[in-house]
Structure 1
Amino acid sequence: MTITTVDAAIERSRETAASIEQEPGRHRMLTGDRPTGDLHIGHYLSSLRNRVALQERGVESFVLIADYQVITDRDSVGQIKDNTLSLLADYLAAGLDPARSTIFAHSAVPQLNQLMLPFLSLVTQAELQRNPTVKDELVASRRPLSGLLLTYPVHQAADILFCKADVVPVGKDQLPHVEQTRVVARRFNARYAAGAEVFPEPTALINDHQLILGVDGQKMSKSRGNVIRLAATEDETAKLIRKARTDSEPTMTYEPERRPEVANLLTIASGFMGVAPETLADDLGSGGGSALKALVIEAINEGLRAHRERRQGIAKDRAELLQILRAGNAKAEAVADHTLTEVRQAMSMDY
């Protein structure tokens, strides 16, 4: 993406955020996660709480459990049913309400996936290969590029456009996916709908939160095993934080470039406490890494206590979780069926 494109996306994000404040009911959001394991504090701080806040403001919300996307970069789906129900338990514990947010599984909505065929006709191989996620995942997997991984951006376009979402909360690293979706929508309308707007061009609602690192100082990732799960006990949380990397300087300062590990722990504590990381650093003074870690442990465990209590009760009832998911699947399928009917009509394939 060029600087001009990024700047334009940031401006659209600001305008959309202002519109949501004024008229939240005009907007529809699509967001979600891949069920590759339990959600962690990085998800909670950077996206999950924001989804709940948008729901509470009155934005119509679609929350995707992207189970088909699990196999884009791995050989098998693993414990995907357990992982899917774990995600759902965290969603509900965090405050997502199935009465106001449509929570559904990718594989359960065939009409959504059927949009892939016309959408694939609208993108080139070169465009797909330039996508940063495709390139990064290919390097990480160390395997030949699969057709599924190559078309990953088109999968995401179908996820967003099937429900005609106009708001997609993302970090800046996900901007290329939303921009590709905008291109797909624009080309479909021009090529197949004679310029009529079958699909809106969605806006990335950009998350400006500091990237949360794992306890090893690298990007927090379930695959790296460096995460603090939302479902972790208080003792497990404390044990992991005590192992987190810091540095040898006793005086606490918030300097992300020079002291990334210390800044990361301050950012985590700040996220749960609602206090600026610079203020926390000043309060800690020369207490060193041990005082910092004690603060972070307390911040996480206090901040997640209510979530964990709710989650524990919710996760026990798998039958209820499955019922909630199936109801969400049915709602999403009805929306997708309506969209597919419009697509067939636009393409003169409604027979």
Structure 2
Amino acid sequence: MNHVVLTGDRPTGPLHLGHYFGSLANRVELQHRHRMYVLVADYQVITDRDLPGEIQRNITELLLDYLAIGLDPGKVTIFQHSAVPELNQLLLPFLSLVSMAELQRNPTVKDEILHSSQSAVSGLMFTYPVHQAADILFCKGTLVPVGRDQLPHVEVTRLVARRFNERYGMVFPIPEAMMGAQPSLSGLDGGKMSKSRGNAIPLKATEDETAALIRRAVTDSDRHITFDEELRPGVAGLLTLAGLCLDRPPRELAEEIGDGGAARLKSVTTDAVNDFLRPIRKRRADLDEGAVRSVLREGNAVARERAALTLEEVRRAMGF
């Protein structure tokens, strides 16, 4: 089956290995089989912060990461949220299809509120899942590669699509979520790997920076290395990370390291991560930023044309 894939990221800082194994690796593989739209969700930056930060620089860095990991602008449409006003016009009819109670129950929204840097929770935060529904449905998306934490947002999209179709007639497909090999990767402190929590390894980090980050990773006092996600989350997180980079089971690595302790574990993980990221870093260094920005301009034009068609279809269905 040929899908229309919608995926993307907020330009809030560098992409990291959690993004790669949670979603990015899927995108690189899927682009060869399906129509794909990749969203630079710049408007969504202000859902959980009062100011967008270095937004233009972050957008450029995001584009560099996308192309470095192997996304091909000849196969995918990379576009910017704020450059497609028709997409945002879908938000109003979609908001009429969900209740406040349903938005407030969303577990991902609750978690994002908990870690928000805003002085007060904004109305935009509660509508975040419906924003994402507009992102997915404007291009008639049918497949959404996500990490586990984003599954509730996809469920809201499915709800919006069903209710719109029931109320106004068949317009939207019901999208499916697709999780990567490692839906939620532990960070260097044992918690979820996240830009905002400062526990991630950026894809663009140098080898020395990567080594320094891993040296500071939280482990424990038990010298014998075993894989136990519940009782030894820090150790298990490093074993999982090394295993993903080496394409080996983390338990097997734990048995090899044995009594080598945290120092040996961190050394193995550092080598695995740096070997894995070396070709990505090389491609990134060879990219020209001007050419990268032109990729975005071209993608914006394609996305806006598609969004205008969907918006017109929605208006007709609703009787406007």
TM-score (norm 1): 0.88
Kindly provide the amino acid, as one letter, of the partner of residue 345 in structure 1. R
In the alignment, structure 1 residue 162 sits paired with structure 2 residue 147: no
Stretch of structure 1 that moved more, 247-256 or 267-276: 247-256
Query: Is the partner of 1:257 in helix, strand or coil?
Result: coil
2:258 corresponds to which residue? 285
In the alignment, structure 1 residue 83 sits paired with structure 2 residue 58: yes
Deviations 1:298-340 (A, max 9, x none): 00110000100110121xx221111000001111111111111
2:21 to 45, 70, 76: 45
1:1-351 aligned at under 5 Å gives the runs 23=1, 26-56=2-32, 58-141=33-116, 143-193=119-169, 197-207=170-180, 209=182, 211-314=184-287, 317-349=288-320
CA contact (8 A) 2:201 2:210 kept: yes
Cα deviation, residue 208, structure 1: 5.2
Cα deviation, residue 182, structure 1: 0.8
Stretch of structure 1 that moved more, 123-132 or 294-303: 123-132
Deviations 1:190-212 (A, max 9, x none): 1122xxx2001111113352632
Stretch of structure 1 that moved more, 336-345 or 217-226: 217-226
Query: Which ranges of structure 2 fall in alignment gaps of 5 or more residues?
Result: none
Q: From the superposition, tell whether residues 33 and 192 of structure 1 become closer, same or farther in structure 2 (CA, over 3 Å).
A: same
Distance 1:47 1:98 in 2: 18
CA contact (8 A) 2:238 2:269 kept: yes
Deviations 1:63-100 (A, max 9, x none): 11110000011111110111111111111011101111
Kindly report the root-mean-square deviation, in angstroms, between the aligned alpha carbons of the 2 structures: 1.3
Distance 2:151 2:202 in 1: 26
Kindly provide the amino acid, as one letter, of the partner of residue 183 in structure 1. L
Question: How many residues were matched structurally?
Answer: 319
Kindly provide the amino acid, as one letter, of the partner of residue 153 in structure 1. P
Query: Is the partner of 2:311 in helix, strand or coil?
Result: helix
Distance 2:114 2:179 in 1: 26
Kindly provide the amino acid, as one letter, of the partner of residue 77 in structure 2. T
Deviations 1:153-198 (A, max 9, x none): 11010000000111011233222111111111111111122xxx20
Cα deviation, residue 283, structure 1: 1.4
Distance 1:200 1:210 in 2: 24
CA contact (8 A) 1:252 1:281 kept: yes
Q: From the superposition, tell whether residues 181 and 210 of structure 1 become closer, same or farther in structure 2 (CA, over 3 Å).
A: closer
Query: Is the partner of 1:223 in helix, strand or coil?
Result: coil
Deviations 1:120-157 (A, max 9, x none): 11111111111112222223336433121111111010
Query: Is the partner of 2:281 in helix, strand or coil?
Result: helix
Distance 2:221 2:111 in 1: 33
Distance 1:61 1:281 in 2: 38
Query: Which ranges of structure 1 fall in alignment gaps of 5 or more residues?
Result: 1-22
CA contact (8 A) 1:27 1:59 kept: yes
Distance 1:212 1:187 in 2: 34
Q: Using the aligned pairs only, state the percent identity.
A: 59
Stretch of structure 1 that moved more, 143-152 or 330-339: 143-152
Q: From the superposition, tell whether residues 287 and 89 of structure 1 become closer, same or farther in structure 2 (CA, over 3 Å).
A: same
Kindly provide the amino acid, as one letter, of the partner of residue 256 in structure 1. E
Deviations 1:14-60 (A, max 9, x none): xxxxxxxxx3xx1111111110001111111221111101113x111
Kindly provide the amino acid, as one letter, of the partner of residue 250 in structure 1. R
Q: From the superposition, tell whether residues 343 and 198 of structure 1 become closer, same or farther in structure 2 (CA, over 3 Å).
A: same
CA contact (8 A) 2:245 2:272 kept: yes
Distance 2:248 2:60 in 1: 33
1:4 corresponds to which residue? none
CA contact (8 A) 1:171 1:208 kept: no
